[in-house]
Amino acid sequence: MVGGKNASLGEMLRAGIRVPPGFAVTTHSYVEFITEAGVVEEISKILAAVNPDDVTSLDDAGTRIRKLMDKAPMPPAIANAVSEAYALLCKKCQVKELPVAVRSSATAEDLPGASFAGQQDTFLWVRGSRELLEKVKLCMSSLFTPRAISYRMKMGFPHEKVLISVGVQKIVDARAAGVMFTINPVNGDPSKVVIEGNWGLGETVVSGAVTPDKFVVDKVVFEINERITSSKTIECKYEAGKGVIHCDVPLAQQNISCLEDKEIIELVKVAKQIEDHYGSPQDIEWAIEKHKPFPFNIFILQSRPETIWSQKKKEPLLGKKTAYELLMEKALSRVKISS
């Protein structure tokens, strides 16, 4: 009904994780939208003619479908429901025209293993009912970007089985943000949480626009084992009238850690909680809200299963040895001193 990502946010909310407040527009609303607009058949026709190996053909199909959807009116029932939910959210947060993030989340309920991560659009700092409705629609039509179309065709997923929902979430005005893994992605060490972060919004970390600060933390004893403070020259922030922009980090801030120790430890605690909840290593997006006091400033924006180490075959690392075999091995070993 709400797509993997949105469902996960709802689940985390119920598990007591600090997730920014928001609501979701369901896949059902999406179906209602394209049905009432009467574009379903036309879309199918365009898609049937696409050659997945031809970039021009993909581009052309994408543009045509998205134009079709942009022109189509949103059914009043959906538009009203979205506006009402938004008004409620504004009231709850006590902010008029609350800035929100609008993210799409694709889903294919009967296609297990399908991952559509990163294929759909995200809009940040959306303010007011009118702009919100516009972005909701754009999110829905992002199901038909050339990349998304091509992916489904290559994977053999029927287009009509893949639906989209839209998540609307209060924006976290981030002082710093980034990602974290509940396993060390470098070596698969399950006892670590690895945090990467930069000043401002998390986009620079996700996209690799800067070398972020990096912290490797032991999640059992909460010791920070590794701490790399990078030279962070660029950050992403929101500026009224301009939207989300990349800008230079003030010189004095470039080489300062974007997280305080207590924030690092709090993030690790939350990461452990999320991992325990899902029972598998996670890849988590986080942000530190500018205007709130610690620890109420820590927010989780998203969590998804870590895929690389989790899917590896688990081989014993100690070669099934007993204590005495291990002791013998150690007794025979030498420590290399000079290189």
Partner 1 sequence: MAKENRFSHAREVKIPKELEGWEEMYPSHRLFSAERREWEDTQFWYQDKIHAPEPMPPLDEIFHQAWQISLAQHTTRIFCIPPAQGIAQRMVGCYMYICAITPPPEEVIKEKAELFPKRTFPVFDNYDRLWDQWLPKFQALGRELEAVKVPEELPRYMPDFDSGTTLPSVSPAQELLEAFNNSVNIMYRGWQYHFNLLNLTYLAYLMFADVARKLFPGISESAIGKMVAGAEVSMFRPEEELCRLARLAHAEPKVANILKTDRPAASKIESLREIDAGRHWLEEVDRIKDPWFYVSCGSGWFHHEGAWYNKLDVPFGYIKSYLERLDKGEKIERSLSAIAEARDALVNEYRKLIKTDEDRKSFGDAYKNVRSIYRYAEDHLFWVEHWFHAIWWDKMREFAKLFVKHGVLKDVEEFFMFNRLEVPYLIEDLATSWALGENIPTLKWSDKAQKRKKILEAAAKWMPPPALGVPPEVVAEPFTVMLWGITTDKVQDWLAGVAVRPEEVTELKGFASSAGVAEGKARVLKLLEEIGTLEPEEIMVVGNTNPAWAPVFSKIKACVTDIGGLTCHGAIVSREYGLPAVTGTGTATSVIKTGDIIRVDGDRGVVTIVKRAKS
Binding-site member from 127, 227, 269, 292 for partner 1 (CB under 8 A): 227
Q: Does 271 bind partner 1 (CB under 8 A)?
A: no
Distance, in Å, from the CA atom of 153 to the CA atom of 150, rounded to the nearest integer, reads: 5
Q: Does 117 bind partner 1 (CB under 8 A)?
A: no
Q: Does 291 bind partner 1 (CB under 8 A)?
A: no
Distance, in Å, from the CA atom of 281 to the CA atom of 274, rounded to the nearest integer, reads: 9
Residue 227 backbone phi and psi in degrees, to 5: -150, 105
CA distances from 214 to 108, 207, 298, 310 (A): 35, 15, 17, 22
Binding-site member from 240, 251, 252, 331 for partner 1 (CB under 8 A): 331
Q: Which is nearer to partner 1, 16 or 190 (CB)?
A: 190
Q: Does 226 bind partner 1 (CB under 8 A)?
A: yes
209: which residues sit within 8 A by CB, 6+ positions away?
Answer: 203, 234, 236, 246
The answer to whether 19 and 284 are in contact (CB under 8 A) is: no
Single out the residue of 6, 26, 39 nearest to residue 117, CA to CA.
Answer: 6
Q: Which is nearer to partner 1, 239 or 261 (CB)?
A: 261
Spell 217-238 as b/e; 16+ CB within 10 A means b: bebeeeeeeeeeebebeebbbb
Q: Does 311 bind partner 1 (CB under 8 A)?
A: no
Considering only 67-75, 92-100, 224-232, 249-257, which stretch makes contact with partner 1 by CB under 8 A? 224-232
What is the four-CA torsion angle of 120, 204, 177, 151, rounded to 10 degrees?
Answer: 20
Binding-site member from 44, 51, 191, 307 for partner 1 (CB under 8 A): 191
Considering only 24-32, 151-159, 223-231, 245-253, which stretch makes contact with partner 1 by CB under 8 A? 223-231
Q: Which is nearer to partner 1, 71 or 336 (CB)?
A: 336
Considering only 54-62, 133-141, 149-157, 310-318, which stretch makes contact with partner 1 by CB under 8 A? 310-318
Residue 97 backbone phi and psi in degrees, to 5: 50, 55
Angle between helices 76-93 and 129-141 (to 10 degrees): 120
Q: Does 87 bind partner 1 (CB under 8 A)?
A: no
Q: Within 10 A of 121 (CB to CB), how many other CB atoms are there?
A: 17
Considering only 80-88, 91-99, 113-121, 213-221, which stretch makes contact with partner 1 by CB under 8 A? 213-221
Q: Does 48 bind partner 1 (CB under 8 A)?
A: no
**Least distance (Å) between residue 323 CB and partner 1:** 4
Angle between helices 146-155 and 55-71 (to 10 degrees): 120
Q: Does 218 bind partner 1 (CB under 8 A)?
A: yes
Considering only 70-78, 99-107, 114-122, 313-321, which stretch makes contact with partner 1 by CB under 8 A? 313-321
Q: Which is nearer to partner 1, 151 or 215 (CB)?
A: 215
Site residues (vs partner 1, CB under 8 A): 184, 187, 189-192, 216, 218, 220-227, 261, 314-324, 326-339
